A and B are shown apart, each in its own frame.
Chain A
Amino acid sequence: MSSTVIHDHGAHDSHAAHQPSFARRWLMSTNHKDIGTLYITAAVVAGIVGGGLSMLMRAQLMYPNNTIVSNGQEWNAIVTAHGLIMIFWLVMPALIGGFGNWFVPMMIGAPDMAFPRLNNMSFWFLVMGFIFVILGLVVGQGSGVGWTLYPPLTDSTYSPGVSTDFTLFSLHLAGISSLLGAINFIATILNMRAPGMTMHKMPLFVWAILVTAFLLLLAIPVLAGAVTMLIMDRNFGTSFFEPGGGGDPVLFQHLFWFFGHPEVYIMILPAFGIISHVVSTFSKKPIFGYFGMVYAMVAIGFLGFIVWAHHMFVSGISVDSRIYFEVATLVIAVPTGVKVFSWIATMWGGSIEFKTPMLFAVGFIFLFVVGGATGIVLANAGLDQELHNDYFLIAHFHYVLSLGAVFAIFAGFYYWIGKMSGHQYPEFWGKLHFWTTFVGVNLTFFPMHFLGLAGMPRRYPDYPDAFAGWNYVSSMGAFLSGISTLVFFYVMYRVFTSKVVLADNYWGEGATTLEWVVPSPAPHHTFEDVPVIR
């Protein structure tokens, strides 16, 4: 991992001198850094939309019998759009398209991605997909099917109108985008590493993106198949999932979760990569147990493909299936435990500086463990019978995503914003952002455990009055999280108006990967002369 560069002239670049026009630079970009910036920008926009929808939902749920959302169909459309936007247009673009594009080529000493035009295409497919998912929300009655798209509710009989087709095609577009991106990452990482950068010297973030890309490559086509069958059922009279025509609604659930469970790890593995870098940098220590970390990710990726039906414990699958999928799911806790303990061991004996990225990383580790613990609870088919689809589940997956993946995105943002923009964030405001976010999201999602235990189902715009108390607390937490986002916008404003010039390696001795040997901001082209790693 720790690598010495003996030869680098990456900073010198004749092309940087002539400025491409705005349209040429941003609409036709083939540069991995510019495309990374575009991805991050798109993720911020999607985050504002998806986060705005969650504010709307928490406002509606603040009191029972509330009328902010006018009817159940509108509510279902909001729930659907929130879920899809947060997964496909916030977490994935930020972690994979954004940080992945920016730092994978730099970390392996490559001048760019293997297929720059494909890279550009991936991004614009994503934008088109986002337009489609928004159309699915606003056109007609909206697509109120839940992000899991279970038929028969998705059939034309029960969701008439074009909005559900928009939602389904938006997944095709996002899927193509991810698939092309995955191919690009695999080709880049396997073929374009600088001399001396063997697989076992690759930084953990690169490993994380590589495993993620393989998960995408294998999972997305299954989603595409399932979505295509739904579109056929809706528009062309087939009955893959319609019992009336001999189809099976449960088949869709199998196909969806064969994609959907790896998707969970697609969202969290890049986060693992970022956390490893941040923890190592701010502890001023190399990562503890590098091989364990790498192969834990590979193991998680593999196990992610053989546990899908734990999302279907109440779909009438057999006893033996339930036992198998439960045990296989529990096994994932072992490699995940290896990651968590290795992060702590990396910190152990370190000289830790608690700058904002490190705060988010430590917050990530703790909250991910909380979410993982409730995951172990839910993995028990016998308990899932009680907790399936209720607010305990909502709490669980927001702990690993909203508090896990999103914390890692913020950790990555604060860690790399100096390298990307050339300006440092203001430390005080960064820390304020961390603490308001930390308190806000915990206040939002912890009471949901209680609501779930008491039996509150998900996707309800109105609920029995007994659930009012914890819902009120949860809404308060959500509004605090909303305010924390404003702090984040102020941080971005300060970054982009800052005049302070940064050193190449502004984090000092702990930051050892290749992106820290190029200037801040990283020049338009890096490593045109191949660096050699010893």
Chain B
Amino acid sequence: MRFSGWRVSLGALVLLAFGMPHLAFADGYVIAPKPWEMWLPQPGSPMEARIDHFMAFVLWIMAGVVGFVALLLAYVIVRFNAKRNKVPSTVTHNVVVEVLWTVIPAVILLVVAWPSINLIRYEADYQKPYMIVKVTGHQWYWEYDYKSVKGLDFTSYMIPDDKLQPGQIRRLSVDHPMVVPAGEKIEFEITSADVLHGFYLPSLGVQRYAIPGQIVHSWTLLTKPGTYYGECNQICGINHDAMPIEIQALPMDQYQAWVKKAQAEYADNTPNRTPAVVRPALVQLAQATR
């Protein structure tokens, strides 16, 4: 592997500094899916916090609508059962209720749409970032190119099930996580080198397709140092479920130390930006990246 040396030394550094490889950074603050979870992940970014808040707002309104319809249905089922109501009425029109059930839903929709449009504008504002990471989806790994750090461009593969270390999460942990400073605005320039991929970070509220030939912008700001996970979310072939995303947010001084270290590691190893995929048979390629 191209980065094996770098991986070993980072691992050693981490082990020395903190003793636990997985929970090393930021006092073990990890946002990963939890068993029997029934709601959105704990927000790791202001964007996710706003999504969480607005989601609760919309869902409560919708719960009210569903509850209202359920009550009406229950009443009708009990009250107008053939056993209780032998003679059916012949009413087929009532202008007042027909106007009401057209106007009231429209008003409810306005109440939803207004804050929703604000949220769209907020999510789209990727301007003035602290740094830009160009994210490239490949079959079946991610490539992170730090635009502001010369030569810092590396790939990120899922840890195969049989190589998992204690503390790593099956199907989520990767060999080289994206490392970013906490508390700073990060812009993502998302693209793909082959088919569509989905750059999906549930706990940060970020999701965009990685589209070949296009750059799609998004952004995040990790509130606290810690480890955050995401996954590919657009069908991309045989290993679609095996290209997760791991992001580690560090305090600024640790991040800068990491950058120096990483640059040194990469100095003699200028990355092949988008490794030319010679097309072996599909399954062969899949095995090579497992």
Show the binding face of A for B, using Cβ within 8 Å.
Answer: 64-65, 71-73, 76, 79, 141, 144-146, 150, 152-153, 157-158, 160, 243-244, 248-250, 283-290, 292, 314-316, 319, 322-323, 326-327, 330-331, 333-334, 337-338, 340-341, 344-345, 347-354, 362, 365-366, 369-370, 373-374, 376-377, 380-383, 385-386, 388-390, 450, 453-470
Task: Decide yes or no: A377 and B194 within 8 Å by CB, A73-B282, A351-B85, A470-B36 being known contacts.
Answer: no
Q: How far is the CB of B172 from chain A (nearest CB, A)?
A: 5
Q: How far is the CB of A411 from chain B (nearest CB, A)?
A: 15
B170 interfacial contact with A, CB 8 Å: yes
Show the binding face of B for A, using Cβ within 8 Å.
Answer: 32-41, 48, 50-51, 54-55, 58-59, 62-63, 65-66, 69-70, 72-73, 76-77, 80-82, 85-94, 97-98, 101-102, 105-106, 109, 112-113, 116-117, 119-124, 139, 161, 169-172, 194-196, 198, 200, 202-203, 205-209, 211-214, 216-217, 230-242, 279, 282-283, 286
A370-B66, A385-B206, A459-B240 given. 4 additional CB < 8 A pairs? A244-B213, A314-B209, A457-B241, A462-B242
Q: Complex: how many Å from CA A319 to CA B218?
A: 12
Q: Complex: how many Å from CA A374 to CA B63?
A: 10
State the majority secondary structure of interface residues on B.
mixed
Q: 25 A-B pairs, CB-CB below 8 angstroms?
A: A71-B286, A72-B239, A72-B286, A244-B213, A285-B88, A285-B90, A285-B92, A287-B92, A314-B209, A316-B208, A330-B109, A330-B112, A348-B76, A350-B80, A352-B76, A352-B80, A382-B120, A385-B207, A386-B48, A389-B234, A390-B202, A450-B39, A457-B241, A466-B33, A466-B35
> Which listed residue, A150, A323, A373, touches B234 by the CB 8 Å rule?
A150
Task: Decide yes or no: A349 and B241 within 8 Å by CB, A73-B282, A466-B34, A469-B36 being known contacts.
Answer: no
Q: Which residues of chain A are within 8 angstroms of B35 by Cβ–Cβ distance?
A: 465-466, 468-469
Q: Is the CB of A341 within 8 A of B51?
A: no
Please list the 7 inter-chain residue pairs (A to B) with the smallest Cβ-Cβ separation, ordered nearest first: A243-B213, A455-B202, A382-B119, A349-B89, A316-B216, A373-B62, A466-B33
> Which listed residue, B51, B233, B242, touches A382 by the CB 8 Å rule?
B51
Q: Which residues of chain A are within 8 angstroms of B89 by Cβ–Cβ distance?
A: 285, 348-350
Q: Is the CB of A316 within 8 A of B214?
A: yes
Q: How far is the CB of A34 from chain B (nearest CB, A)?
A: 36
Q: Complex: how many Å from CA A389 to CA B87?
A: 49
Q: Complex: how many Å from CA A314 to CA B195?
A: 15
Q: Is the CB of B80 within 8 A of A283?
A: yes
Q: Complex: how many Å from CA A380 to CA B161?
A: 37
Q: Which residues of chain B are within 8 angstroms of A144 by Cβ–Cβ distance?
A: 235, 237-238
Q: How far is the CB of B141 from chain A (nearest CB, A)?
A: 14
> Which listed residue, B41, B72, B241, touches A463 by the CB 8 Å rule?
B241
> Which listed residue, A71, A250, A459, touches B235 by the CB 8 Å rule?
A459
Q: Complex: how many Å from CA A244 to CA B194?
A: 10
Q: Complex: how many Å from CA A283 to CA B70?
A: 18
